[in-house]
Structure 1
Amino acid sequence: MAEETGLFIYGIVPSDVEPTPDAAGVGDPPGEVAAIRHGELAALVSEVSLTESIGRPADLTAYQELVDGTAAVAPVLPVRFGTVVTGPDAVADLLEAHHDRFAAALDEFEGRIQYVVHGRYDEPNLIAGVLADNPAAAELADQVRGQPEAATRPQRIRLGEMISQAVELRREAENRQLVDALGPLVVASAPRPPSNELDAANAAFLVERDREEDFVAAVEEYAEQRRELMRTRLLGPLAPYDFVSAHQLVK
């Protein structure tokens, strides 16, 4: 009995984009990446088994590497990870049904790339700063310091709540400062939810390629100014994940 297969869709690109010969897709072994074309568009796809689940960390890495690698040389609309259709006809139908909208979106992202700036607080410095700014929290901290946990449980709970609220307010302010600092150098920005309770800032930025150097320099300056408070990472260049809504492509 023949194995049932489908096509995993990575992204939508202009029709003249060709996958590199060494492009590797998801699956074990990795699928061969191909382009299915219709009009001005193409979809990057690879064949996958419909009987095996796609979702291993290696699959997500393969998806991201392919999409981000494509974005480095051409505009790409990332399709939601895990999107699988029955075959080439289904891909062609998708491209035909949304041809003009996809083409307009690709024009919008021509010459633009995404970066993500992520900052995480240094916990000891963060707590020290919160206590310095909040006398009530500092008093609670003094009350519980060196005392049995069971005997000071209510105070510890209240202290945790106060610190959590203070961190949230600081995070909101830090994200505003980040967007304000980089705003003049970007086309658009998009806030990202915190991935950790110590997250200080997390936002995506759409950057013109001819302004990348200025943008990176501004991020480095921002990070240097805050190096005692947080550790800042710059991720990119990436495909414009945060600026292409999933519902714009495949539901």
Structure 2
Amino acid sequence: MPDDAVYVYAIGDAGLAAALPGIAGVSGAPLRAVGSGALVAVVSSVDTAEFGDEALPRNLEDLGWLADTARAHHTVVDALARRHSVAPVRLATVYLDDANLRTMLDQRAAAFGAVLDRIRGRTEWGVKAFVIPPSADRHAAEQQPSVPSGTGAGRAYLMQRRAARDRAAEARRSAVDAAGQLHEELSRLTVASRHYPPQDPQLTGCRDEMVLNAAYLVDHAGEAAVRGRVERQGAPGLRLELTGPWAPYSFATVEQV
């Protein structure tokens, strides 16, 4: 239809076309395959009134719309990755029609082939590390006591607060060092790694400071080693979150080849 555009989820080998999952994509549209040579793009049709050049930038600023679209996008990519090695495409990647998409596949066939070779038989795992303040200092911060009256009491209070700050600073230094060592060890255990900036507490929903936010490309045979290394982390004051396996979003872009 002339008012339809082509929304792209992921790119894989030609065999992917024969095993598309029976799920709906963005806006409830059915999935289909657009192939060229040895490559196949998994796509669905979307309305240009929602995904066209004028509407898309506006919709991307709508948090509700963005969340729904991202959820549908991830659901499709995750279902594909459970069956095949696929290169996930960035959220809201839209082409005018199938012909334009095939042209892109032809022009970048070698690069996409290299990406698929890079991630075949591998998944992405994420590790986040958070500093846990000493429990007594956390409790004191939550209570927010008033300064006691009297010169001697006030001086003692300030010394206690200074000691609490010193303990928190030392706990943070130890946690940062432990997180750095963990990242180095995981990088040696895995095929590749990506180190991202720490996320804001408003995004994580956790008030503890994040000191490691990393992704790792892992062979299937190496997943147990990664999981075991994270579980063995014994640094006090450091809390770890291990997530995965995921489709290798962090390692599947053409620019990384």
Give the match for residue 54 of structure 2.
Answer: none
Could you give the per-residue CA deviations for residues 178-237 of structure 1, whole angstroms, max 9, x where no partner exists? 212323321111111111351132110010111112221222222xx14x5243221111
Give the match for residue 8 of structure 2.
Answer: 9
The percentage of counterpart residues that share the same residue type is 28
Say whether the 8 Å CA contact 1:115–1:236 is kept in structure 2. yes
Give the match for residue 194 of structure 1.
Answer: 198
Question: Structure 1 length normalisation: TM-score?
Answer: 0.74
Q: Which runs of 5+ in 2 are unaligned?
A: 51-58, 149-157, 202-208
User: Are 1:83 and 2:93 an aligned pair?
Assistant: yes
Q: Which runs of 5+ in 1 are unaligned?
A: 129-140, 149-154
Give the match for residue 20 of structure 2.
Answer: 20
Give the match for residue 136 of structure 1.
Answer: none
Could you give the per-residue CA deviations for residues 42-84 of structure 1, whole angstroms, max 9, x where no partner exists? 1111111121246431221121122123223322112111111
User: Are 1:48 and 2:46 an aligned pair?
Assistant: yes
Q: Which amino acid aligns with 2:146?
A: G
Give aligned pairs, total.
Answer: 220
Q: Which amino acid aligns with 1:215?
A: V
Q: In 2, Cα distance between the equivalents of 1:246 and 1:195?
A: 25
Q: Structure 1 stretch 54-63 or stretch 107-116: which is displaced more?
A: 54-63
Could you give the per-residue CA deviations for residues 2-44 of structure 1, whole angstroms, max 9, x where no partner exists? 77221111111111013534222112xx111111111111111
Give the match for residue 36 of structure 1.
Answer: 34
Give the match for residue 74 of structure 2.
Answer: 64
Q: In 2, Cα distance between the equivalents of 1:126 and 1:183?
A: 34
Q: Which amino acid aligns with 1:63?
A: H
What is the SS of the residue equivalent to 1:190? strand
Counterpart selection for 2:232 from 197, 221, 240: 221
User: Are 1:242 and 2:250 an aligned pair?
Assistant: yes
- The alpha carbon displacement at 1:241 in A equals 1.6
What is the SS of the residue equivalent to 1:51? helix
What is the SS of the residue equivalent to 1:182? helix
Q: Which amino acid aligns with 1:183?
A: S
Q: Which amino acid aligns with 1:234?
A: L
Say whether the 8 Å CA contact 1:175–1:202 is kept in structure 2. no
Output the aligned Cα RMSD: 3.3
Q: Structure 1 stretch 48-57 or stretch 107-116: which is displaced more?
A: 48-57
What is the SS of the residue equivalent to 1:115? strand
Q: In 1, Cα distance between the equivalents of 2:251 and 2:174?
A: 26
